[in-house]
Amino acid sequence: MNVSEAIEGRQSIRAFDSDREVTREVITSILTTAGRAPSGSNIQPWHVYVVTGAAKNRISDVCKARYLSGDEGESEYHYYPQTWRQPYIGRRRQTGFGLYGLLGIDKADAAAVQGYRVTNYDFFGAPVGLFFTIDRDMELGSWVDYGMFLQSIMLSARGAGLETCAQAAFCPYYDSVMPLLRAPDEQMLICGMSLGYPQRDAVINSYRTERLDAEAFTTFLRD
């Protein structure tokens, strides 16, 4: 697998093989490789928490309980725009309808939607959960750096035969997650990520989102 193949083949996996463990050595290797991601002045503003076993289950249990109780929580930062507009709202809706349509879920069926969304907090069956934090005094440039680090993890994982799903779903429950991670107060939660071996025959893993051609988002200037 070359770099282009790793990028083009990457997708958000939402069904993992829960019986197939990922060794600490493999996880460490993935993170070490991803740590080569660029950052301004090489400050490397990332912190990673790896949860497996009982530690992962504790986070799953508290997040599922809050979600199913109707507690929406509140993230420490806004992931999405406060006011949606085109073309972004259209792309979001296309993704949502495509995903739920593949699963045969009517988005008007609140119980079915909730039943699917709660699987976020089980890490979609993945044996490994990753949580990413950043020091509160870091500025926007470090968040740009962090994006490159996260993508590097996803690609490094693919090189090891694993797949991932980045998850902002944990962010509204940061006040439950961070204490369970024993993270210091000076850090804030950016997102979680599921890591494991995919279920190749799972219908949900056949879902692929569309991407724009480069011409749609690129301006070439010469003269």
Q: What is the pLDDT of residues 9-43, one digit of tens each?
A: 999 999 999 999 999 999 999 999 999 999 999 99
pTM of the entire predicted model? 0.95
Q: What is the pLDDT of residue 125?
A: 97
Q: What is the pLDDT of residue 116?
A: 93
| Model confidence at 188: pLDDT above 90 | yes
Write out the H or E segment, with its range, that includes residue 165: strand 163-167
Q: What kind of fold does domain 12-79+121-208 have according to CATH?
A: NADH Oxidase (3.40.109)
User: Domains of the chain: which residue ranges?
Assistant: 12-79+121-208
Q: What band does 141 get if pLDDT is binned at 50, 70 and 90?
A: very high
70 token code pair: 């109707």
**Phi then psi dihedrals of residue 186, to 5 deg:** -75, 0
Out of 67-71, 97-101, 144-148, 164-168, pick the least confident: 97-101
Q: Which of 49, 12, 59, 9 is nearest to 27 (CA)?
A: 49
Q: Which of 7, 3, 13 is nearest to 164 (CA)?
A: 13
Write out the H or E segment, with its range, that includes residue 216: helix 214-217
Q: What band does 194 get if pLDDT is binned at 50, 70 and 90?
A: very high
Q: What is the pLDDT of residue 107?
A: 85
Place of tokens 């039943």: 115
C-alpha span between 83 and 77 (Å, rounded): 15
Concatenated DSSP letters of 142-164: HHHHHHHHHHHHHHHHHHTT-EE
Q: What is the pLDDT of residue 17?
A: 97
One-letter identity of residue 132: F
